[in-house]
Each structure stands twice: as structure tokens, then as C-alpha cells.
Structure 1
């Protein structure tokens, strides 16, 4: 994708790269679109890199990603919907989702408190994009019907290794042996 300038059509929720701090890009602001990968966008605004979730792309005048969840089942959080949301979060450096990369270790749903707790890891403990990935997971899982709170804990035991990847992810990344 070549870099191009776009104008925010409305206030745009975003997260600073690599720290993941939430910010808002004001309507009418010029941003440089530098990357579109995994349904998310990386932009430069006032000299800072930021990630814009693909579900908010309309605010940049782009086509938004539409997530399709199961019909609501009362107040119940459906585990299938949580896993679906997680499969829409992609590593910002490779076009593979976090589930197929084997980065999601556990999902615990507390129906009474409408909370989802996720244990996840990174491909490397020093990964500079860790806070951004955590923010991506929180943002997407909060879109699941009936979810009010999301808690993501980064864990490094067991350490991630390529055998945790799905076969499809191994083929996609050329790591299939």
C-alpha cells in the first residue's frame, strides 16, 4: 500500500504506537495513512503513529470492517462470538490473526459481571507492539454483544513457539516444516 493523505470525517478513536495509549484524532484533521493490515490502519497524525481499528475506518472516509456476531441470546455472552472477535485481531507485522498464531492461551467469561478475561502471549517477550495488541484485543472483544468489561493479561508461560500456530498460519508465514 502506498502512503496517502486522508482527512478525518469525524473524531477518530485511535491508539498511539507502540504504547497503546488511547487518543482521539479530531474531525477535519489531515493524517497520513501508512499501513492497512489485518483490518486495521496505521496513520501518522501530528508526527505520531497511531492505530485506527478497521471498525472505525468510516471516520477516515474508508470502508469500515463489519463484524457479524450471532443474534443476541438475552444477556448471555457467547463464547463463539468472543473467539470470532479474537480471530479478527491481526498481528501488526504479519497478516495472521492472533488465534491462528497461537497467542491466545485462555478465555474466561464471567456472565454475572459481563466480563471476559483473556490470557495471551506475544511471539517474543520484548515485542514492542504488545500494548497495541492488547488494545486491539480489548477493543474488538468489547464489540461482542453483552460484553461490558475486558481484561487482557499478558503471560509468558509457556513461552510461545511456532508449533502453537495453526497449520494454516504456518503455511501463510512460510514456517511449515
Structure 2
């Protein structure tokens, strides 16, 4: 008889590699895309809200230029963990969207609830401490956020929901950063 336990263990490792961003430990873009499609379908069928937040670290290039890419990577890890800690339930998802951008999927979350979560994320990120990675206590970062919520067929597709959050994010950045804009 053939022992498959080693194969099962290797499969689980490979499955994890395929779903998780290797640097930050949160979901990767592929996992995000699958989650948004699944949650979109459920939201339409069950007539439940679906909120989506895009988060961009303000002036992250300056952080990397001033402190180096190794510390920049540690910053990304801290931000990812902070966002994950703010999620209200296990069916919510944070994913690395790209570079210094993150996305949050909040199933069954009306815009008012999503706004509270986004504000909590903003506050917690403003209070991240970087002394444990060798930076001065006065080093702080902020984020700009764009939020959109599907409810009662406001958007035609999940892609339109993402585009709305992206538009709101760019508005937050153009209005001075360290803000949340809702579309």
C-alpha cells in the first residue's frame, strides 16, 4: 500500500503558495479575484450588500527611498497584518492588490459598516510602530482609501464595483491623501 500522506502535505503547501502573497501573508490577487466573483454572485442572489475597499499606502516610494526596500517590505507586512486584524469576520478578505495597494472584500456589509471598518483601518495604520524594525518612533505612515458598495443593483458587474472603489481611491489621493472617499 502506498502512503499518500507526504503527497497530501506537499499538495497543501503548494495550494497555500498559490493562494497567498509570499511577502505579506495575506491573500494574493488571484485569490481576491475568485473571492470577489463568488461574493458578487452571492450578493446578487441573496440581495445582500457587498463592500469593497482599495487601500494605498501614501508616499510609499519615499518610505522605500528613505529606509530601504527591506524595511519597506517589513512595512508592507505590518500594514497587511493591521488590515487583517481589523476585519470583522472570517468571510471578509484582505488581499495584496499590487505593490503597496491592498483590497478588502466585505460580504453582507452595508456602506455604513464598511466605512466604520475603513476608518478603523486608517486609525490603526496611523498608529503602527516601526521601532521594532530599527526606525525612529516618529516614523509614521498613512493610507488613502476608496470604498464602494453594491446594494440593490447599483453596479452591473463586480468589475464596475472595483472601478468605483478605484475612482474613490484616486479622489482620496487627489484631495490630499490620508483620507477615505466613498463612491
Normalized per residue, the structure richer in helix is 2
Structure 1 length normalisation: TM-score? 0.32
Q: Which has the larger radius of gyration?
A: 2
Normalized per residue, the structure richer in strand is 1
Structure 2 length normalisation: TM-score? 0.31
